[in-house]
Amino acid sequence: DVKVTQSSRYLVKRTGEKVFLECVQDMDHENMFWYRQDPGLGLRLIYFSYDVKMKEKGDIPEGYSVSREKKERFSLILESASTNQTSMYLCASSLVITEAFFGQGTRLTVV
């Protein structure tokens, strides 16, 4: 079974803080993704990575950056957290693009 693990289930951060969300997968997948999930908006792609040190912007990259130094780990960074970044963040990995395996999600609250 593919395991995609996000480091935190819940996070509360203050406005202006730098926030790191970590994701690890154990199936040697090339592709990794970060989405945010908001009611009424579905899932929106923030960034994806198709190889170590490779990254591409998704639909809503503003205010975020990513890091992929090792194949199994993909980090999402909020450079200066703002209240409109309060959301559920989902990490996913895939071998074939069209079947993604998701982590359990991190619910981030920015106060």
- The reply on whether position 90 binds another protein by CB under 8 A is yes
Amino acid at 14: R
- In the complex, the smallest distance separating the C-beta of residue 1 from another protein, rounded to whole angstroms, is 11
Number of other CB atoms surrounding residue 68 within 10 Å? 20
Cα angle: 5, vertex 11, 15; to 5 degrees: 135
State in angstroms the smallest separation of the CB of 84 from another protein.
18
Site stretch for another protein (CB under 8 A), options 21-29, 34-42, 63-71, 76-84: 34-42
CB of 76 to another protein, least distance (A): 16
Please say which residue, 35 or 74, places its beta carbon nearer to another protein: 35
For residue 40, what are the CA distances in angstroms to 35, 44, 68, 86? 14, 11, 30, 15
Q: Is 48 among the residues that bind another protein (CB under 8 A)?
A: yes
Residues 95 and 50: beta-carbon distance below 8 Å: no
C-alpha 31: how far from chain center: 12
Footprint of another protein (CB under 8 A): 4, 31, 33, 35, 40-45, 48, 50, 56, 90, 92, 97-105
